[in-house]
Structure 1
């Protein structure tokens, strides 16, 4: 019984040491991440995105025009998911 408790304590210490050494940065924020994404073409639409911040518990939405098409991106905080929608040839994108 004592050997089992000792092994469990050593396993817990090893787990905590491994977690502390992994270098996880819990402060990551994908909304301010500087282009750690796939390579991009030479075309750059540098115009800012209009952002609609949802109430707590609801997704945020960003929208902008690109080559006459309206793009919508919905994201929820730092979650790993997002949704993208495109309105082709949106008349408000002139």
Structure 2
């Protein structure tokens, strides 16, 4: 193999390695969420699990409002709906 071809092959391998490592770095990166004052791990969410191929949902009370979140596995998208002053959310509790 000519030196020019070796250099080109080595450069391409280096670029491919950097691209591969850069693509995997997302898994080690912390969430880029907006600043928050706290979180509510005290009360569990009610999960609604659907058959494969359909989105799952979770629901939880937040200050007297019921929040529904539909999600599909670990995908990047979700849908959110809120029921204000839901009577099933006792007294504005979380």
**TM-score with structure 1 length normalisation?**
0.65
Measure how far apart 1:51 and its partner are: 1.1
State how far apart, in whole Å, the 2-side matches of 1:25 and 1:18 are.
11
User: Are 1:50 and 2:46 matched, yes or no?
Assistant: yes
Deviation at 1:13, TM superposition (A): 3.0
Q: TM-score, normalised by structure 2?
A: 0.65
> In structure 2, do the counterparts of structure 1 residues 12 and 76 end up closer, same or farther at CA, with 3 Å as the change threshold?
farther
**Greater C-alpha Rg:** 2
Q: Which runs of 5 or more residues in structure 1 are unaligned?
A: 1-5, 29-34
* Deviation readout 1:16-65 (Å, 9 max, x if unpaired): 3123322616868xxxxxx6522212574631111112211111101011
Q: What is the RMSD computed on CA atoms of the aligned residues?
A: 3.2
Question: CA 1:43–1:55 in 2, change beyond 3 Å: closer, same or farther?
Answer: closer
Structure 1 ranges of 4+ moved more than 2 A: 8-16, 18-21, 25-28, 41-46
The count of residues paired between Structure 1 and Structure 2 equals 84
Where 1:24 maps in the other structure, the secondary structure is helix
Structure with bigger helix share is 2
Partner of 2:85, secondary structure, is coil
**Aligned twin of 1:61:** 57
